[in-house]
Structure 1
Amino acid sequence: MEVGGATRAPAGHVGFCSENPSECRSQNRNAVVVKLDRERWNELLAVNAEVNRQIRPVTDVELFGVEEYWTFPSSGAGDCEEYVLEKQRVLQKRGWPKSALLITVVKDTNNSGHAVLTVRTDQGDIILDNQIEAVLPWYSTPYRFVKRQSARNPAKWAAISDHRVSTVASLSN
């Protein structure tokens, strides 16, 4: 995944950071990738499936009465951002480094904004998603990648140059 320069954070993430400053604090850390072995791979599969089962899909308008609101899924319901935040939180509790667990904004198969979790590994970027049950390398998803969190500072975001022409999202423009 070709990551470029700085870009604006999604409004929902800015609000999330103001309500959860400890989740977005820069720790001046080195960005790391995770060595992906069989145990770690199985853990990704399990966490993705577990969180996808635990959260009932509900829009922010239905749940919070606003168009866009990012939070942890304390009520057991939420949209794509709640799935991503919970997967990130669960993996961190299991010892995965935060700098390898990046919230990523994509255009989905309907060309709508969608959030997924990018897991940075020594074998490439892996995507955990609530729309597609399979855990896939980023380039195998049908999405067009737009931007993601910085690995060094979770409140900062970087643009993604996704020039692939084979994505469903790019074909629907």
Structure 2
Amino acid sequence: MGFFSHSHAWRAVILACGLTWIGPAADLAAGTLMSPGAAGLIRKSAEPFGLFASALSWGALREKWLDVERKLDDERVQLALCDGDRDRCASPAALQLLAIVDDGRAREGRARLGEINRAINLAIRPMSDLAQYGEVDVWSSPLVTFAHGAGDCEDYAIAKFVALRLAGISPDDLRIVIMRDTIRGEDHAVAAARLDGHWLMLDNRRMAMVEDGDVRNYRPMFVIDQYGAMRYDETPLLASATGQDVPPIAPNSAVQPGMTSPSNQ
């Protein structure tokens, strides 16, 4: 992938998000409620939420991410130079990101993931793309996000994905997950890391990491790994914190974030 290898391109999405709390941790303790057939899939798929996903080979998301990947290629070089000679590094953003990576490397296991999640949540101010760039669909690379000191949820997720990889987490154990917030009616992105066979969500909306099985009020839509972006083949509604189901979305109504109609998928 752009930042670490020459694998397939990622894709970008429109997402609206802010640094808020989802709710008390106690509300996240119950199991998930999935659509028919999902219980069987959870035993077969290694992706977050246990659902199968299919690669996206075309569309606006793919084209958007090709541009982002080129920027990540450039940043990979800059970070390597700064990591080799920090005294002569001319990028405060690179030094800030590398310092977070250093703190993560000094820890192991869950503590490493938690340190990077917390540090990036604190380093970036929540700000919409429209407020920051005057556009509604901008995915920023990590050094751009750190230089601005602000971003929205996909900017947090990308920065965490990159920082975790630099801190030594295997790319096989890293994802970016795009979900539909069924309460707010908007899309939301988080980084995900697998630890001891369990996927933890690293969310800009909360400091505590939550396992995928304990997420509430979201519908998983897309997942990104080292090879590219995929659409979940099934998009079950994760149980609400109140125990009441949100009305399901028809399978053919799922639209790639950033698109205006299913015909643009």
Shorter-chain TM range is: 0.7 to 0.9
Structure 1 residues 102 and 63 mapped into 2: Cα distance closer, same or farther (>3 Å)? same
| Partners of 1:16 and 1:71 within 8 A in 2 | no
Q: Specify every segment of 5 or more residues in structure 1 that has no aligned partner in the other structure, as ranges.
A: 25-37
Structure 1 residues 56 and 41 mapped into 2: Cα distance closer, same or farther (>3 Å)? same
3-state SS in 2 of match to 1:161: coil
| Partners of 2:219 and 2:238 within 8 A in 1 | no
Judging by fraction of residues, say which structure has more helix: 2
Q: What TM-score do you get using the length of structure 1 for normalisation?
A: 0.77
Deviation at 1:102, TM superposition (A): 0.9
Task: Find out whether 1:39 has 2:108 as its counterpart.
Answer: yes
Mean Cα displacement is larger for which, 91-100 or 15-24?
15-24
CA deviation vs aligned residue, 1:10-46 (integer Å, no higher than 9, x gap): 846642332424859xxxxxxxxxxxxx821001111
Q: How many residues align?
A: 158
Deviation at 1:90, TM superposition (A): 1.0
Structure 1 residues 172 and 127 mapped into 2: Cα distance closer, same or farther (>3 Å)? same
Aligned to 2:220: 145
| Partners of 1:55 and 1:78 within 8 A in 2 | yes
Aligned to 1:120: 194
| Partners of 2:121 and 2:204 within 8 A in 1 | yes
Computed over aligned residues only, the root mean square deviation of the Cα atoms, in angstroms, reads: 2.8
Determine which of 154, 167, 177 is the counterpart of 1:81.
154
3-state SS in 2 of match to 1:171: coil
Judging by fraction of residues, say which structure has more strand: 1
1:14 and 1:104 map into 2 onto residues whose CA distance is 18
Structure 1 residues 61 and 152 mapped into 2: Cα distance closer, same or farther (>3 Å)? closer
| Partners of 1:12 and 1:70 within 8 A in 2 | no
Determine which of 88, 99, 122 is the counterpart of 1:53.
122
Aligned to 1:111: 185
Larger Rg computed on CA atoms = 2
| Partners of 1:111 and 1:172 within 8 A in 2 | no
Determine which of 35, 43, 52 is the counterpart of 1:4.
52
3-state SS in 2 of match to 1:147: strand
Q: What TM-score do you get using the length of structure 2 for normalisation?
A: 0.52
Structure 1 residues 166 and 44 mapped into 2: Cα distance closer, same or farther (>3 Å)? same
Aligned to 1:70: 139
Structure 1 residues 89 and 63 mapped into 2: Cα distance closer, same or farther (>3 Å)? same
Deviation at 1:139, TM superposition (A): 1.6
